[in-house]
Amino acid sequence: MERVPILKIGDILLVSIQVDMSDQTAVQLQEDLAERIVATGSHGVIIDITALDIVDSFVGRMLSAIASISKVLDAETVVVGMRPAVAITLVELGLSLNGIRTALNVERGMELIAAARADEWHEADGDEDAETTATS
């Protein structure tokens, strides 16, 4: 069975899907990814689908599932590198990737995750400030 490799770059896990996804591969990927997120303590997952010619409802559901799993483990998921033809087909089919953030390429995806993290920190800081003012 083919396995999708998961690479760690700094605080981010990079998954580049280069093979046709089967049920087994998808389940294996979800398990591997969940383990790696916990093991490395990563806060961002980038799924690169540049090599995918076809994204059907199955792949769409898999991506949504990965995003949900990562969310539970406090990691932001960004799908990058969707081809124009794939996007057009998805729109024509009326499929939308709910709850998934997208970016044009890996670089933009990393920026997006960094920005999301910064927002979170900022919000947390803001809350602390509010608490301090309230107590003082």
Query: What does the binding site for another protein look like in residue numbers (CB under 8 A)?
Result: 78-80, 82-88, 90-92, 96-97, 101-105, 107-109, 112
90-123 burial by CB neighbour count: b if 16+ within 10 A, else e?
beeeeeebeebebbeebeebbebbbeeeeeeeee
Of 21 and 109, the one with the shorter C-beta distance to another protein is 109
Of 26 and 80, the one with the shorter C-beta distance to another protein is 80
Of 38 and 91, the one with the shorter C-beta distance to another protein is 91
Quote the DSSP letter at residue 75.
Answer: -
Least distance (Å) from another protein to the CB of residue 82? Answer: 5
